[in-house]
Chain A
Amino acid sequence: QLQVQESGPGLVKPSETLSLTCTVSGGSISSGGYYWAWLRLPPGKGPEWLVSIHLTGRDYYNPSLKSRLSISMDTSKNQFSLRLSSVTVADTAVYYCARPLAGRDFFDYWGQGAQVTVSS
């Protein structure tokens, strides 16, 4: 059974960079041709898709956040990572990594989520 799990600091200061890692178990991040993704759920709002990455390195970003986002993949560790720069309190959210249904753009595997709070 595939599992994905987020990890990283739960508290980030304003203007700093948020970094999170997603570890995949029960399957290889290199197989299946999936676009692995990061999403977040801000308090009181709906989910927001952030970015997706393919094994080939092809990625695509939420246009509203593209200038602050980067994503990378480490197949040797079966992980992919997110960096969000210049954070503000508006970036406070539960961050999820997820995998879509094969070849599609909706998600059937999600991590449990990582609460990230931006505060000084």
Chain B
Amino acid sequence: AIQLTQSPSSLSASVGDRVTITCRASEGIGSALAWYQQKPGKPPNLVIYDVSSLHSGVPSRFSGSGSGTDFTLTISSLQPEDFATYYCQQFNSYLTFGGGTKVELK
């Protein structure tokens, strides 16, 4: 099974900061990668799919990049509602998720 490793597992940031989260796949997955945001007690919300396509209604401060095995999610200017846990998911071979990155208030 394809494994996804996210880094860091947690980070502390302030409102207005630029935040970057990395997702590394154990083998090449082309562009078959999505990102989700999850807040406590809520289900995950789709943020980005196909590496860099923004899901409907998602603010443009979110962006994604990468290919092959290395991918990033960037929040250009962190807002109060962005404090959450973020997961990557690959759909190249079956479906697997990363372990998550918790974005906390500094």
Residues on A lying within 8 angstroms of B by beta carbon are 45-49, 60, 62-64, 96, 98, 101, 104-108, 110-113
Cα A89 to Cα B99 in complex, Å, equals 19
Q: When A47-B87, A47-B89 are in contact, do A63 and B94 touch as well, CB less than 8 Å? A: yes
Cα A104 to Cα B46 in complex, Å, equals 13
Given the complex, which residues of A lie within 8 Å of B4, measured CB to CB? Answer: 46
Interface residues on B, range: 20 to 34
A10 CB to nearest chain B CB (Å): 15
Q: Is the interface of A mostly helix, strand, loop or mixed?
A: loop
* B71 contacts A by Cβ under 8 Å: no
The reply to whether B46 and A108 contact each other, CB–CB distance below 8 Å, is: yes
A45 touches which of B36, B45, B99 (Cβ 8 Å): B99
* B64 contacts A by Cβ under 8 Å: no
Number of residue pairs spanning A and B whose beta carbons lie under 8 angstroms apart: 51
B43 touches which of A48, A64, A96, A104 (Cβ 8 Å): A96
The reply to whether A111 and B49 contact each other, CB–CB distance below 8 Å, is: no
Q: When A106-B89, A108-B55, A112-B43 are in contact, do A46 and B100 touch as well, CB less than 8 Å? A: yes
A46 CB to nearest chain B CB (Å): 4
* B44 contacts A by Cβ under 8 Å: yes
B46 touches which of A48, A60, A62, A107 (Cβ 8 Å): A107
The reply to whether B94 and A46 contact each other, CB–CB distance below 8 Å, is: no
The reply to whether A106 and B34 contact each other, CB–CB distance below 8 Å, is: yes
A34 CB to nearest chain B CB (Å): 14
The reply to whether B97 and A46 contact each other, CB–CB distance below 8 Å, is: yes
* B91 contacts A by Cβ under 8 Å: yes
The reply to whether A112 and B42 contact each other, CB–CB distance below 8 Å, is: yes
The reply to whether B46 and A106 contact each other, CB–CB distance below 8 Å, is: yes
